[in-house]
Every structure is written in C-alpha cells, then in structure tokens.
Structure 1
Amino acid sequence: MEWMAWTWPTAVFFMIIATTLVVFTILAIKFPETPRTGVLRIETTRGDRLFITLLGSAFINLAWLGLLSSPQWGALIVSFCYAVAVFRWV
C-alpha cells in the first residue's frame, strides 16, 4: 500500500471514523432512538447528527487550510465545538 502514502495521522483518522461508526451501530442496537426536532426544524437521529457533524467538520478543516496559516489543531478545536453544538441542538 505504498502507493497510497499512508501516514500515521491518516491511519489514525480512519481508525477513529471506523470506531465511531461501530460505536454508533452498537448504540443504535442497544438503545433504539426516536427522531427529534432541533433548531433546523427537521427530524434527526444520532446517525443524522453524526453525518452533519462529519460533513461540517470537513468544511471547517478545508476552510481553515485555505484561509488561515495557523496550525490545523485550531480547526480540530473548532470542529469539536461544532460537534458538541450539533449533538446538543440539532
């Protein structure tokens, strides 16, 4: 797999995403969820909120890379705050 240029940060990123999906699957089986309506006025489940969080975090990181010259750790902190807000209010 040398052609893919895997680095440890890349591998860790994909391991975290895979682990999150497994955990959310287990949670959905053990604790069935009911959709709720948040500030977006659409019904969302845990999985929907996870998707919104991942998509928004990708855009935050891309904007951070394109607009700022600060270290990427700042985007991680902003993305974490965004995730907390999505799971709390959406």
Structure 2
Amino acid sequence: MFDWMVWTTPVAVFFICIALMLVGMTIWELKSPTTLRRGWLPMATTRGDRLFIGLLSAAYVNLVFVGLAGKFQEWFSLEAEPSVWISFVLSMALLALVMRKG
C-alpha cells in the first residue's frame, strides 16, 4: 500500500511527529479550550490555527532544503549533500516558534 513512497527514517520521524502533535493538540483542546490570541502573526489565532500555519511553514522549509541540497553541496564544496536532519531540526524550531510566539 505504501510502496510508492520512499520511507526513510527522517520521513517516518517527520510524519510520526505530525501525528503525535495532532493527538496532543486534540487532548489539549478537550482539556483546555483555546481562545483567540494575537502574537506577531498579522491576525488573531487559536492554537489550531498556529499549528496549521506552523506545519505549512515546516513543510516549506523541508521542501526548500531538499530542493537546494544539491546547490548547497556545490556552493559550500561539500563531499555529499547535507543531511535532511538539518531541515527537520530547522522546521521543528520554526514550528515551535510559531506555536509559542505566533
């Protein structure tokens, strides 16, 4: 069923983290309903809104990193393409920032 996708460890960890976040947010919402809050995003948001925006941002960071990995190798004279774990860490940091301050 999942033969069409390349299930590398970073990809599996990324999707497991998303699933765990969704379960955690559901439990958090049931225990403590959210209210609108205004952070540095240009609109008032709820926790769910910030999670959605953060996940989209994380996905774009990963896509840009994968798309530019070959260029990074060329620009920085690396022996191999940089690890996708770098983009995973960057995208999770961005997600945490949006969730906390957004």
Unaligned runs of 5+ in 1: none
RMSD of aligned alpha carbons: 2.0
Instruction: Name the TM-score, length of structure 1 as normaliser.
Output: 0.82
Instruction: Name the TM-score, length of structure 2 as normaliser.
Output: 0.74
Greater RCO structure (CA 8 Å; 6+ sep) = 2
Distance 1:27 1:19 in 2: 12
Deviations 1:9-50 (A, max 9, x none): 345443332222121111101011111011123011111111
Identity %: 41
What does residue 41 of structure 2 align with? 40
- Equivalent pairs counted in the alignment come to 90
Higher-Rg structure is 2
Unaligned runs of 5+ in 2: 70-80
Instruction: Evaluate the alpha carbon distance shift between residue 8 and residue 59 of structure 1 in structure 2; reply closer, same or farther with a 3 A threshold.
Output: closer
Instruction: Evaluate the alpha carbon distance shift between residue 56 and residue 33 of structure 1 in structure 2; reply closer, same or farther with a 3 A threshold.
Output: same
